[in-house]
Amino acid sequence: MPNPIEFWFDFSSPYSYLASEQIEPIAARCGRRVEYKPTLLGVIFRTTGAVPLTELVPPKSRYFAHDFERSARFAGVPYRKPSVFPIPTVNAARALLWLQAQDEAVALRFLHAAFRAYFAQDRNLADAAVLEAVAREAGADPARLQQGMQEPAIKERLKALVDESIARGVFGAPTLFVDGEMFWGNDRLPQVERWLASGPF
C-alpha cells in the first residue's frame, strides 16, 4: 500500500479550500489516498514569523484577493467571499479529528461540507450553530460530536499536529507531503501530480 498524500491545512485558508476540492481526483488517478491533517495557521505564523495573507502590503493583498477568485474560477470551484475572514478554526479542527477517529467517511464529508460552508456559502464556521449544522449535514450526531470535541485526547491530538507541522517546516497552507517531499500551495498541484505519477524529478 503506497503512502497516503498528507494534506496539511487550516479551515480558514482559502487556497487550502481550493486544493481540497482538487486533490482527491489527483490521488485517485495515482492510486493514493489523502490523509487530511488540520493545523492552525495562527500558531504557525506566530511561531515562524511568516506574514499571513491578511497582513501583506496593500498591492500584494489587493492582488491576492483578486487572484484567489480567479484561481477558484480557473479550477471550477464555487466561491463566495466570506463576510468574516479569517476565523478561529480550533473547534472545526477538533471536530474533524474526533470524527476521523469515529468514522472516516463521515469525517471526509464533514471536511468538505465545512470548507464549502465557509468559502462557498458564507457561513461562519467559527459559529457553534454553523458547526453543528455542518456536522449534521455530514451525517454526524451533533450532540456526541460536541462532547467528543472536548475530550482531552482530541485537544492533545490537535496540539501534537500543530507542533508536528511546525517541526516539519510547514509555514503556510495547504502544504502537501508526498513520500516526504513537501509542496506548498494550491498552485503546486501539477507538480504533486507529476511526482505521484512518475516519481521524483
Grid coordinates representing 140 are 454526524
Distance CA 132, CA 92 (A): 10
Q: How far is the CB of 13 from a copy of itself (least distance, A)?
A: 15
The rounded distance, in Å, linking the Cα atoms of 44 and 163 is 9
**Number of residues that this document lists for the chain:** 201
Residue 172 within binding range of a copy of itself, rule CB under 8 A:
yes
Whole-number minimum distance, CB 182 to a copy of itself, in Å?
7
Q: State the Cα–Cα distance between residues 116 and 17, nearest whole angstrom.
A: 8
Minimum gap (Å) between residue 81 Cβ and a copy of itself:
17
Query: What are the DSSP calls for 144-169, one per residue?
Result: HHHHHTT-HHHHHHHHHHHHHHHHTT
Build a one-symbol-per-residue string for 22-51: x at contacts with a copy of itself by CB under 8 A, - elsewhere.
Answer: --------------------------xxxx
Taking the mean position of all CA atoms in its chain, how far away is CA 65?
19
Amino acid at 40: L
Interface characters, 132-171, with a copy of itself (x: CB under 8 A): -------------------------------------xxx
Cβ distance to a copy of itself smaller for residue 131 or 173: 173
Residues binding a copy of itself (CB under 8 A): 48-51, 56-60, 62-63, 66-67, 70-71, 73-74, 169-172, 182, 184-185, 187-188, 190-191, 194, 201
